[in-house]
Structure formats: structure tokens, C-alpha cells
Amino acid sequence: MLVLFVVYHVFWLELLLLYRSWFGTDERHTDQKQYDVYLSYARHSEEEHFVLFTLRSVLENQLKYSVCIFDRDSLPGGTITDETLAFVALSRRLLVVVSPGYASRGSQALLELQAGLAAMAGGRGLRVILVQYRPLRRQAWVRELRRARLALVLLRWQGDESRDLTSRFWKRLRVELPVRRLSGGEAQGEAQGEAQEELGLMRMLSQNSSDSQTGLVRDANKDQQRVLNSAA
């Protein structure tokens, strides 16, 4: 009995992932959503590079999740507010990368967070997950995050210690994400497709660096109340 207790205590994440792979329900068969994960982060920040080239790369290329990144997947000509609400509504998880500049007033990240929290509270098949890329004082969190923190999962990135797919960070994140069965071939990914994706994201990152985030969400800032009313 003691041996079983020790094994469970040490390997509970592995056992949980194994159980999910055998008996978990694939949400793609039970809902009409288009994306597994919507990535929400502060533009023009250190975290942006982490999101695009680490989180996004592993989620899409190794874990085979369908990921929505607004700056990449939105179509020209649409309104920021409407497209943000639509993307969040079509996603099963909202992955929020918390940073000092996240969700400042009038930012698109704040719209994403508010829409996600409203959808989660309304039971619309979406869950919000927090990722802390670097140490952050609680005082730096926006009010919405401070209020919801007790009900949300917070995962901390530990630098090089978290980079390997077998690290505790990725195992805990996989527990919170929709169920997926991985094969050896899937885990390797397609090198050519990954290279093309990296080039596209580098161009997007460069474009973001030259744009103003305030300008990007000019329309959204005027429609804050409409977002909350629509998402509620």
C-alpha cells in the first residue's frame, strides 16, 4: 500500500494523462467549436516572442492542437471587438500569458480576458488558463485577474527547466487542455510546415513591433461596455 501511495504521489500527472488518453472525451466530438486554444498575451512585450515561438510551436506542431492567434488568423477589414468575441466563442480554452503589460486599459488583451471570463462564468464550454512567464507581483495584476485568480489554474514557466515536453509545466498544461491522443509521428511534426510557420510569425512579430497596440484596438476601446454585454 505504501508503495502504491508513493508511486501515485510521484507520478500522479503521468497517471492522469494516461487515464485521459484512454477514457477522456474528445471535445471535438461534442461541440461545434473551431479552435482548441486561443492565445491571449500582451503585444510588444518579451512574452510575445515566448507565445509565438514556444507556446504556439509546441501546441500546434508537437501536441497537434488547433491554435487561434488573433493577429495571424483575423481577416483584414473586420472590427477588433466583433472578431475577438467570435474567436473566443469558437475556442475551448483561453490561454492567458500574464505579464506586467497584460490587459492594460483599452488593450485588446483586456477584451480577450473579459470575453473569456464571461464565457467561462456563463458555462459556454470555455475554460481560462493562466501562464506566468516570469515572476510578477500580484499588485501588477489587473482587477479582473485578481478577482478570478482563485478559480483559475495558474502555471508557472520555469525557463530552461520547462522547455522539454516531459517537464512538469507541459504535463500540467496538457491536463488542462482538451484530450488528445499522441502518436510518435505526430510528436515529431512536419519540418517543412514548421519552417514556413516560423517565417510567417517572424514577419508578424516584426509588424507588431512597428505598430501601436493602442492604435490596433482603437475601435475596441470605444466598445468596452458592448463587449461585456455581448459576452454576458
Scan for cell 508513493, then name that residue: 6
Measured CA angle at 215 (ends 212, 221), to 5 deg:
130
The separation between CA 122 and the C-alpha centre of its own chain, rounded to angstroms, equals 19
Q: Of 47, 60, 112, 197, which is the active-site residue?
A: 112
100-105 long-range Cβ contacts below 8 angstroms, 24+ apart: 100/42, 100/45, 100/136, 100/140, 101/42, 101/44, 101/45, 102/41, 102/42, 102/45, 102/47, 102/142, 102/145, 103/42, 103/142, 103/144, 103/145, 104/42, 104/142
Q: Is 112 a catalytic residue?
A: yes
Residue 115 CA: distances (Å) to CA of 44, 82, 103:
22, 11, 12
- Distance (Å, rounded) from C-alpha 154 to C-alpha 145? 11
Helix residue spans in 66-130 (DSSP H): 70-73, 80-89, 108-121
185, containing H or E segment: helix 184-188
- Secondary structure of residue 128 in the 3-state scheme: strand
- Known catalytic residues are 112
